[in-house]
Structure 1
Amino acid sequence: MNKELIAYCGLYCGGCRVYQATQAGKPEHYEDGSPMVCTGCRSLGPVAAWCDTQCAIKQCCRDRGVDNCLACDDNPCDKMTGFMQDPAYPYHLEVQDNMTRLREIGPDAWVRAMEARYRCKACAQTFNWFERTCSACGQPTP
């Protein structure tokens, strides 16, 4: 079980297509051709810029010395509200529910639940936040 997959914001890094491609050894590429790799925003390995130096939530958690927004007395704050309301990323709406569930069942069970949530029930292929159907078998994703 990898607790590093619990992002500062409350997302599950294992649901990220860049993380999945990195794990599969088939990284995506930036427009300049350089590899786009990420091992999760809390990892010590390479992290995509938007989940590292460009992430205000990550910096805020580090500045406050908290593991994630769940541990912050000011949650939800303006940063989190803006993050959740970004129309380009509808899966951001999941973070408050994710943090509630994380509090209820603990990190080990939460990561296991997320691993199951992002795995196709029909064929066991992993899928990402954006996919509405499994790329392997075509079944709808939850």
Structure 2
Amino acid sequence: MIQPDLIAPCGMNCALCQAFQRPKNKCLGCRDKTPKNAKSCENCFIKNCETIRTSPAHFCYDCPDMPCKKLKHLDTRYRTKYAMSMLDNLNEIKEKGMDSFLKSQTAKYTCPTCGGLICVHKGRCLTCEP
């Protein structure tokens, strides 16, 4: 099952990310505190946003300016290229709770062949079809 600490402040499910799923130089997820994590996570404007870091839930939905320009851009790119919406993810977490969100993500992205997770960037299970 997907763990709550793998859900980034922007609503990205890091467990579905190609960088998280790759066998070498694996990213540990946006919330991981390891100093040598992926540069994209370390330099992320959203992850490093002061409002998000000090908010109660540490998600963009806590921000009065949601969605900001950066989150809108990210959401548009993921909707267009990967059929995933950060805004939809955030709204689901806020409205239905983390447990419900994790269950729906697990149902949607579990590989029917091996039970692994489908990579959102490749649109397939990297275990079955590397």
TM-score, normalised relative to structure 2:
0.78
Secondary structure of 2:118's counterpart equals coil
The answer for the alignment partner of 1:18 in structure 2 is: 19
Give 1:106's aligned amino acid. G
Give 2:40's aligned amino acid. W
Unaligned runs of 5+ in 1: 28-35, 138-142
Q: Is the 8 A contact 1:10 1:70 kept in 2?
A: no
Counterparts of 1:47 and 1:106, CA distance in 2: 28
> What count of residue pairs does the alignment treat as equivalent?
121
Give 1:17's aligned amino acid. Q
Q: Which has the larger radius of gyration?
A: 1
Deviation track 1:3-36 (CA, whole Å, cap 9, x = no partner) reads: 2111011110110122122xxxx21xxxxxxxx3
Give 1:47's aligned amino acid. N
Unaligned runs of 5+ in 2: none
The answer for the alignment partner of 1:78 in structure 2 is: 69
Distance verdict in 2 for CA 1:58–1:92, change over 3 Å: farther
Give 2:46's aligned amino acid. I
Give 1:51's aligned amino acid. C
Deviation track 1:92-121 (CA, whole Å, cap 9, x = no partner) reads: 851011111111221123223223322113
Matched, 1:112 2:103: yes
CA RMSD of aligned residues (A): 2.3
How far does residue 70 in structure 1 lie from its aligned partner after superposition? 1.3
The answer for the alignment partner of 1:33 in structure 2 is: none
Segments of 4+ in structure 1 off by > 6 A?
none
Q: Is the 8 A contact 1:8 1:57 kept in 2?
A: yes
Identity of matched residues, %: 29
Distance verdict in 2 for CA 1:55–1:86, change over 3 Å: same
